[in-house]
Each structure stands twice: as structure tokens, then as C-alpha cells.
């Protein structure tokens, strides 16, 4: 009922960090197991699994943190307005986080597009410069050819 996931390289078993673990609990299995265990972990698991049906914290689970969580649960359970305010605030925070993330992504896309446009302008300018140099070189060659043909007595070609 308790699963712990870590970041580990599958090829060589190297753990990326000791500072990140994801714990998943199967709350539906909490009721059938750990009966009579009053450890803090068991207390919290029972609270998450069954807390909505509690009117008070069971004596075997009493702790300041669990009592505080129970009082918050009671406050929202007994006051629909407070609960709706809480839910609205949570929704607002979620929307704000989404907006911030979307703004950052848009700014990154804009920066990439501007960089690409600048690179394309630079490439176009370079191509224009090469074309101008080629035209100047061709004009110089044509002028030399005309001068050489004039020296040889051949009529200039158009």
C-alpha cells in the first residue's frame, strides 16, 4: 500500500539524488491494514482515507498537527461559504500558475522567432553582399574584356 519512487539510472543503478522521492499510498488499503498501529504515518493515512467521516480525531492519533488539520476540515465542512472561498482561491492560484507558465513559454517562443528572424536577415544581407560582389567582379571582367577587344581591333559586343 506504500510505494516509494526515486530517480535511478536503469542501466547502472545510479541514484540521481537522495533529496527526491515520491511516496504513493493506496488509501483504500489503509482501513484493512495497520489496525491498532498509532504511529504518526498511520494517523495521517487514516486521516486522508477516513477523515471526512470523523467528528473528532481518535484518541490514539491525537497530535497537534492532526488536530489542526481536523479543525480546518471541520471549518470547511460546516461553512459552505468558507469552502467555496477556499476552492475559488485554489482555482485562482491554478489559473495564475498556468498564465505565468504560458507567458514564459510565449516569451521563449518570441525570443526564438526573433533570433531566427535576425539570423535570416543576416543571411539575406550576406547573400546580397555576395551578389553585389559578383556583379562588380562581372562588370570589371566585362570592362577588361571590352578594353582587350578594343586593343585587338575587334568591335565591342553588346
Label residue 45 exposed, middle or buried (CB < 10 Å: 0-12, 13-18, 19+).
buried
Pairing between β-strand 21-25 and β-strand 2-6 as defined by DSSP bridges = antiparallel
- Check residue 42 and give its pLDDT: 81
Q: What is the DSSP string of 37-91?
A: ---HHHHHHHHHHHGGG-SS--GGG--HHHHHHHHHHHHHHH-HHHHHHHHHHHH
pTM of the model: 0.41
Q: Residue written as cell 461553512?
A: 79
Q: Tell me how far apart the alpha carbons of residues 43 and 50 are, in angstroms, rounded to a whole number.
A: 10
The number of residues making up the chain comes to 158
Instruction: Round to whole Å and give the CA distance between 73 and 85.
Output: 14
What the block records as the C-alpha cell of 33 is 491494514
- Residue 68 near residue 49 (C-beta atoms within 8 A): no
Write down the pLDDT at residue 128: 95
How confident is the model over 3-34, as pLDDT tens digits? 899 999 999 999 998 899 998 888 877 766 66
Give the model confidence (pLDDT) of 113-144 as tens digits.
999 999 999 999 999 999 999 999 999 999 99
Q: What is the pLDDT of residues 35-57, one digit of tens each?
A: 667 788 888 888 888 888 888 88
Task: Write the CA distances from 47 to 57, 84, 115, integer angstroms.
Answer: 8, 22, 53
Q: What is the DSSP string of 113-136?
A: HHHHHHHHHHHHHHHHHHHHHHHH
Amino acid at each position: 500500500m506504500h510505494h516509494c519512487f526515486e530517480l535511478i539510472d536503469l542501466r547502472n543503478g545510479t541514484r540521481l539524488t537522495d533529496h527526491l522521492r515520491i511516496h504513493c499510498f493506496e488509501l483504500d488499503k489503509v482501513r484493512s491494514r495497520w489496525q491498532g498501529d498509532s504511529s504518526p504515518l498511520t494517523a495521517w493515512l487514516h486521516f486522508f482515507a477516513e477523515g471526512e467521516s470523523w467528528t473528532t480525531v481518535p484518541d490514539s492519533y491525537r497530535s497537534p498537527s492532526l488536530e489542526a488539520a481536523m479543525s480546518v476540515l471541520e471549518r470547511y465542512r460546516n461553512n459552505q461559504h468558507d469552502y467555496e472561498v477556499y476552492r475559488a482561491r485554489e482555482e485562482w492560484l491554478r489559473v495564475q500558475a498556468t498564465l505565468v507558465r504560458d507567458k514564459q513559454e510565449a516569451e521563449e517562443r518570441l525570443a526564438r522567432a526573433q533570433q531566427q528572424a535576425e539570423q535570416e536577415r543576416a543571411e539575406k544581407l550576406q547573400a546580397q553582399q555576395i551578389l553585389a560582389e559578383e556583379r562588380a567582379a562581372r562588370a570589371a571582367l566585362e570592362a577588361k574584356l571590352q578594353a582587350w577587344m578594343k586593343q585587338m581591333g575587334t568591335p565591342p559586343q553588346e
